[in-house]
A and B are shown apart, each in its own frame.
Chain A
Amino acid sequence: MRFYEHEAKQVLQKHGVPLPKRSVATTPEEAETAAAEIGGPVVLKSQVLSGGRMKAGGVKFADTPAEAKDAAAAILEIEISGQKPMGVLVEERRAIAQEYYAAVTWDARAKKPVIIFSDMGGIDIEEVAEQHPDHLSRTNFSNLRPFSDYIAKVAVSKTGVTGNHLGPLTRIVTALARVFVQYDLTLAEINPLARLEDGTFIALDSHMDMEEEARTSQRALLRELGIPDEDTRLARPPTPFEVAGAQVDAADTRGVAGRVVEFDGNMGLVIGAGGGSLTLFDAVRAAGGKPANYCEIGGNPSVAKAAALTKLVLSKPGVEKIAVMMNVVSNTRADIMARGIIKGCIEAGRDPGETIAIFRIPGSWEDEGFKILRKYGVDFVDRSVSMHEAAARAVAKMGA
């Protein structure tokens, strides 16, 4: 789940990270008062859960409280990625000498957190990684052992930072790493992390995402931030297609057919099993495919549930074919899945042999599943074909 910027800053403040004077306003009048209390020029930032605020007009500057009031009135009216702001963060504007980037996130390959640090902040970090790799460091650390300041110091100094800048930056990066581990975050980012003209360092913007599953264990933090249980914090409101996906899952308790996310591609995906969904989604994209959706199906869903998900995916305009792929399954039956998917195709008025680009569900009851797939002329593979190979084979059939 995602935090608003002002909440992320509250978390940073608890851990001693220096921040600008600030206040959250929900009306133009509150923004005017906040600007008067802060004194001097301010920046006003829309509090939405999506990025792209600057481009959308969700960030404005004001030199006086009256200007701040007008700016807040304008910002509060702007929807960004379909979201109305929950408020405006009014923050003192400081003169910046240099911008840095600091983040802690998960490194899936290393299976450890990684500190990403750059002395070129304020811009897209992907661009820095591509065009100025010598200005970016990646430093893994253990989330099981206590975090040592030394690791943060290494991360910062790898980009060439030395002298009296090293100490304060190390302290901020240390706090960021501890926040990441303590609150089960998947991303803790400060961008830009600024060195001001007076030589002090300050976090100007921050972005934090927490593991969805950590909501219970992190209830104390959520209470402290004033986030109620019913506040789901999705990055955007669910589309009707996604709502329908949740209904398919809720209508039948057998197995899982959930987390349906809509994309604008032409290949429907019915994917899952033991983390397989993400791998398979990435495999489709790596092969040049354009997924129409993401989903997670598994836990031995009923034939009816698999059929309902298939029909839903096929009902999405532009979906030409579906790829049915899973990791090796033990608690989901390949034959039950085969029945459900084929039934879904037929009920949607589609020929399963033409519609299913690939069926790869190796494991439990696969031989029985193969009999069904053969009967309906569906192209299937067993575990000797990797998930990536299966995805590539499916992508090759699109538009064929």
Chain B
Amino acid sequence: MAMFIRVDIPEDVQAEEPLRKQLVEVCPVDIFALDGERVVTVEANLDECTLCDLCIEASGSRVKVVKLYE
């Protein structure tokens, strides 16, 4: 169970296939994975988030990285 980081992926991101793939590619710690027609977060890797913001930039700030300790 992730304790420190939550990543929210809005539905409009799910609608864009290239972006779904891009999220998987940009994240350095494998927090995103493809699951059929959707992109999902990998629970076991969430706390490894490096706060690099690459997913945020790729999605035009639609993906949200939430620090649970703030």
Contacts and interface: CB of A to CB of B under 8 A. Distances in A.
Bound pair: A and B?
Answer: yes
A302 B29 CA distance: 9
Contacts of B3: 339, 342-343, 346
B57 interface: no
B48 interface: yes
Nearest to A300: B50
Contacts of A342: 3
Contacts of B70: 371
A303 B46 CA distance: 10
Interface in A305-357: 333, 335-336, 339, 342-343, 346
Contacts of B50: 333, 336
A371 B4 CA distance: 11
Interface residues of A, number: 15
B53 interface: no
Contact of A343 (B29, B47, B51, B67): B47
Interface string B50-62: 1100000000000
A341 B1 CA distance: 15
A375 B47 CA distance: 16
Given A342-B3, A343-B3, A368 B48 contact: no
A333 B28 CA distance: 15
Contacts, number: 27
B69 A302 contact: no
For the complex, would chain A's binding face be called helix, strand, loop or mixed by DSSP majority? helix
B48 A303 contact: yes
Contact of B69 (A333, A336, A375): A375
Contacts of B47: 303-304, 339, 343
A372 B48 contact: no
Interface string B15-51: 0000000000000010000000000000000011011
Contacts of A335: 51
Given A302-B29, A376-B69, 19 more contacts: A302-B48, A303-B4, A303-B47, A303-B48, A304-B47, A304-B48, A335-B51, A336-B48, A339-B3, A339-B4, A339-B47, A343-B4, A343-B47, A346-B3, A368-B51, A371-B67, A371-B69, A371-B70, A372-B69
Interface of A: 302-304, 333, 335-336, 339, 342-343, 346, 368, 371-372, 375-376
For the complex of A and B, the 3 pairs showing the least CB-CB separation, nearest first, are A375-B69, A372-B69, A303-B47
